Structure 1
Amino acid sequence: MIELEVCVDDVASLHAAQVPGVARVELCAALAVGGLTPSMGLMRLAVTLETPAYAMIRPRAGDFVFDAEEEAVMLGDIAAARSAGLAGVVLGASRDDGTLDIAMLARLSAACGTMGRTLHRAFDLVPEPLRALETAIELGFERILTSGGARTAPEGAAVLHSLTQAAAGRIEIMAGGGVNPANVVALVRETGVGAVHGSCRGPVQQYAPVVAALGFGVSRAPADPLVIEALRAALDTVDRYDHS
């Protein structure tokens, strides 16, 4: 079965992802900026639910070039995820040239202990994806979340296919970025990926004008169990075909 991971950043979305066929949730804050480290409270709630959760470890928005103090923050957040009992974490760190910061990733990985690890979309900045793939394998990551270096996974399908072929089962390639029920069948058939990742958002919920006027945000779009079920159903049709 092709795995489905749902990324969430609030309590409603976390509960929405508790449906059959979801392999795990990526637990975040601030999905509007690509996801940041979630609160300890959200981590503790996640471990009381059925679907395994991996916490995003990302201390700020922007790039993935982190200094020593930011690394210290990430190490503290990894410790928090471990103490909460989460199944794993989602990591990434870059150098100025876009290559993976191998030394920092090794230190962060060592702090994870037995928790699972996903390499996040810092991977999409690397100048040589196939070389970075081998680095991720050497570092012991379970999977790579990637759009194939493009804005969306369908746009990066050719690179995703190359990565899947090169991985040869040694590490999971998980396609993420713009994945939805309408495009996931074609994406999986074209790339051969064994897992997909999406936010599965439902209708946008608008806040009262006074909330927006005070700068607290205009709207939100939590994950929708109907969208999750539609994405799972689409994936199940692909399972009946050779998508390698």
Structure 2
Amino acid sequence: MTLLEICVDDAAGLEAALEGGADRVELCSVLELGGLTPSPGLVALAGRANVPVRAMIRPRPGDFVFGESDVEAMRAEIAHMRAAGLDGVVLGASRPDGRLDLEVLAMLAAEAGGLGMTLHRAIDIVPDWEEALEAAIALGFDTILTSGRAATAPEGIKDLERALAVAGDRIAIMAGSGIDASTAPALLDRVPLEALHASCGVPGDPASAPARRLGFESPARRATSRDKVMALRAVLDRRAVPD
């Protein structure tokens, strides 16, 4: 059966993901920036969830080229997730040319020893996908989140097919970006993935007028929809039942 991971960035989103039937949650902040490390309060709430939760480890927006101070912050964040009882972490690091930064990743993987580890979409900018996949396996990652190096997973289906063939049963390939109840069936018909990753987002409520006046809003912000999670859950459940 295909695992359903839902990424969320606030308490309401966490509740919607759990009520909608997520098998696992990726916990972030500010998803409109691609997801950053979640706050301690949200981590504490997630630590009481009845499904595994993996936390994004990304201390700032922008690229995945991290300096020494960034790495120290990420190591501390990983330690916090461990102390909070979360299942694992989601991380990645790149060199300026797009290759994985194996030195940084080795330090972070050592800090995360014993936790589940997902390599995030830093892998979608690498010049050599197979080289990066082998490196991820050697570093101890158990999951790769990828769109097949395209804007969305349905567009990257050829790379997803190749990734699954190369990975075999050594690491889980989890498709993300552009995944919902309408796109999942065709994708899974062609690529029998172990996991899908989705935000199931809808436009968030607008900020109040006083907050907008002072610039305290994020026009790109979205909210996790319990109904969209449930719809995607239903698609996967139907596929799991033999004809």
Q: Given the two structures, how large is their TM-score scaled by the length of structure 2? A: 0.95
Aligned-pair CA distance for 1:210: 2.3
What amino acid does structure 2 have at the position aligned with 1:184?
A: A
Which consecutive residues of structure 1, in runs of 5 or more, have no partner in the other structure? Answer: none
Match in the other structure for 2:224 = 223
Q: Is the 8 A contact 2:20 2:227 kept in 1?
A: no
- Once residues 120 and 241 of structure 1 are traced to their aligned partners in structure 2, the CA distance between those partners, rounded to angstroms, is 32
Are residues 1:51 and 2:51 paired?
yes
Q: Is the 8 A contact 2:137 2:170 kept in 1?
A: yes
Match in the other structure for 1:172 = 172
- Once residues 3 and 32 of structure 2 are traced to their aligned partners in structure 1, the CA distance between those partners, rounded to angstroms, is 24
Aligned-pair CA distance for 1:203: 4.7
Match in the other structure for 1:135 = 135
What amino acid does structure 2 have at the position aligned with 1:155?
A: E
Question: What's the Cα RMSD here?
Answer: 1.6
Name the % identity. Answer: 49
Aligned-pair CA distance for 1:19: 3.1
- Once residues 139 and 218 of structure 2 are traced to their aligned partners in structure 1, the CA distance between those partners, rounded to angstroms, is 41
| CA offsets 1:169-203 (integer angstroms, 9 cap, x no match) | 11000000111111111111122211100111135
- Once residues 56 and 221 of structure 1 are traced to their aligned partners in structure 2, the CA distance between those partners, rounded to angstroms, is 18
- Once residues 85 and 238 of structure 1 are traced to their aligned partners in structure 2, the CA distance between those partners, rounded to angstroms, is 32
- Once residues 25 and 173 of structure 1 are traced to their aligned partners in structure 2, the CA distance between those partners, rounded to angstroms, is 16
| CA offsets 1:31-54 (integer angstroms, 9 cap, x no match) | 001000001111111011212110
- Once residues 51 and 236 of structure 2 are traced to their aligned partners in structure 1, the CA distance between those partners, rounded to angstroms, is 18
- Once residues 20 and 202 of structure 1 are traced to their aligned partners in structure 2, the CA distance between those partners, rounded to angstroms, is 14
Residues 177-216 of structure 1 aligned to structure 2 (within 5 Å): 177-216=177-216
- Once residues 218 and 69 of structure 1 are traced to their aligned partners in structure 2, the CA distance between those partners, rounded to angstroms, is 27
Match in the other structure for 2:236 = 235
- Once residues 73 and 80 of structure 1 are traced to their aligned partners in structure 2, the CA distance between those partners, rounded to angstroms, is 11
Aligned-pair CA distance for 1:63: 0.6
Deviates more, 1:213-222 or 1:24-33: 213-222
Are residues 1:67 and 2:94 paired?
no
Q: Secondary structure at the match of 2:229?
A: helix
Q: Secondary structure at the match of 1:232?
A: helix
Aligned-pair CA distance for 1:97: 1.1
Match in the other structure for 1:27 = 27
- Once residues 224 and 7 of structure 1 are traced to their aligned partners in structure 2, the CA distance between those partners, rounded to angstroms, is 11
Aligned-pair CA distance for 1:127: 0.6
What amino acid does structure 1 have at the position aligned with 2:181?
A: P
Aligned-pair CA distance for 1:76: 0.8
- Once residues 48 and 208 of structure 1 are traced to their aligned partners in structure 2, the CA distance between those partners, rounded to angstroms, is 31
What amino acid does structure 2 have at the position aligned with 1:227?
A: K
Match in the other structure for 1:155 = 155
- Once residues 241 and 99 of structure 1 are traced to their aligned partners in structure 2, the CA distance between those partners, rounded to angstroms, is 42
